[in-house]
Amino acid sequence: MVVEVSEVWKSYPSAEGRVTVLSGASLGLGAGQSLALTGESGSGKSTLLHLIGGLDSMDAGEIVLAGTRLGGLGDAGRAALRRGTVGLVFQQFNLIPSLDAGANLAFQARLAGRHDPDWCARLAQAMGLQGLLSRMPDQLSGGQQQRIAIGRALAVRPALILADEPTGNLDEATGDAVLSLMLDLVAQAGSALLMVTHSGRLAARLDRRVHLQGGKLAKPDGLAP
């Protein structure tokens, strides 16, 4: 298993008191598998994604990522694990605005000391980005920025890709094209993919699909994953 989530609880403070977002969520994802995480707005999909990526800490439960228990790691340990093990793709692209597209593409791989220029060149070619690598992020369209963000996540050849609504800011045709590309490249890299989406149509293109409701995960048909 690349990631195992067991009985994870998470709540946030709010004006009305603490709001529980996850109440005993569990799932598992093996190498090369893809999983769509769906749910209503505010159901906790992004929160679960952030917990798995070590971006946030849980109140209770356990997450094991590539054989490492996240609960036992401090900020520096989680940062180190993210650098080499997790590729993140966000709806807002979140490129580094001060670096050009090429430097953004290679950023995490270089950060992790795993930069492979050939692999980056192949990724750029596969995503049709060759002519755009010297441009700054604000000189690229949304679709182009998202392709760079996906390339950045894949360049490090992570064990797990976490994608939060990666096509949410794109039109349907561009979104479909970007997802096809991502699935293809994830398969080539041998990574696992966990993607948060509102779209049933996009979710159907992944190997598995789970639904988050009332803080717990369930298959769409109501069975535990």
Partner 1 sequence: MIRACLAALLSHWRRHPLQLATLVIGLAIATGLWSGVQAINAEARAAYDRAATVLGQDRLDRLVPEGRPLTVGDFVALRRAGWAVSPVLEGRTGTGLRILGIEPLTLPKAAATPGLPGLASGDLRGFLAGTLALAAPETLARAEIAGNLPSLTLRPAADLPPMTLLVDIGLAERLLSRPGAVTALLVDPAQPAPGPLPPGLAPFLARQAAKADDGLARLTESFHLNLTAFGVLAFAVGIFIVHSAIGLAFEQRRGVMRTLRALGVPARTLAALVLAELLGLALVSGLIGIALGYALAAALLPDVAATLGGLYGAAVPGELGLRPGWIGAGLGMAVAGTLAAGAQGIWQLVRLPPLATADPQAWSVSAGRTRRMQARAGLVLLAAAGAALAFGSGLWAGFAVLSGLLLGAALVLPAALAAGLGAGRAQAQGVLAQWFWADARHQLPGLSLALMALLLALAANVGVGTMVASFRSTFTGWLDQRLASELYLTAATPAEAAAIRAWATPRVTAVLPIAWAETPLAGQPGEVFGVADHATYRDHWPLLSALPDVWDRLAQGRAVVVNEQLARRAGLELGASLDLPGGPLPVAGVYSDYGNPAPQAILGVASFTARFPDVEVTRFALRLPPAGVDRFVADLGRAFDLPDEAVIDQAGIKAFSLRVFERTFAVTGALNLLTLAVASVALLTSLLTLADRRLPQLAPGWAMGISQARLARMELARTLVLALLTAMLALPLGLALAWVLLAVVNVEAFGWRLPMQVFPGDWLRLFAAAMAAALVAGLLPAVRLMRRQPADLLRVFANER
Residue 210: beta bridge partners? Answer: 37
Rounded distance, CA 85 to CA 11, Å? Answer: 26
Q: Which CB, 207 or 216, lies closer to partner 1? A: 216
Q: Which residue has the tokens 């492979």?
A: 116
Distance CA(161)–CA(222), nearest Å, equals 26
DSSP-based three-state secondary structure for 25 = strand
> Phi, psi (5° rounding) for residue 144?
-65, -40
Q: How far is the CB of 223 from partner 1 (least distance, A)?
A: 25
> What is the footprint of partner 1 within residues 184-223 (CB under 8 A)?
none
Identify the residue among 24, 28, 32, 84 touching partner 1 (CB under 8 A).
84
- Give the footprint of partner 1 on residues 25-54 (CB under 8 A): 41-47, 50, 53
CA–CA separation, 41 and 198 (whole Å): 8
Is position 114 an interface residue for partner 1 (rule: CB under 8 A)?
A: no
Helices (H), 64-116: 75-85, 101-111
C-beta closer to partner 1: residue 111 or 177:
111
Given 23, 26, 28, 55, the residue binding partner 1 (CB under 8 A): 55
Q: Out of 60, 79, 187, 224, name the contact with partner 1 by CB under 8 A.
A: 79
How far is Cα 6 from Cα 97, in angstroms, rounded to an integer? 37
**Closest approach of partner 1 to the CB of residue 17, in Å:** 15
Asked if 183 touches partner 1 (CB under 8 A), the answer is no
Give Cα separations from 220 to 50, 181, 196, 203, 225 (angstroms). Answer: 22, 26, 14, 11, 9
User: Does residue number 119 form part of the binding site for partner 1 (CB under 8 A)?
Assistant: no
Is 92 or 130 the residue whose CB approaches partner 1 more closely? 92
- Interacting residue with partner 1 among 27, 34, 90, 151 (CB under 8 A): 90
Alpha carbons 34 and 32: distance in angstroms, whole number: 7
Residues that bind partner 1 (CB under 8 A): 12, 21, 41-47, 50, 53, 55-57, 75-76, 79-84, 88, 90-92, 94-99, 103, 106-108, 110-112, 115, 138, 152, 164-165, 168
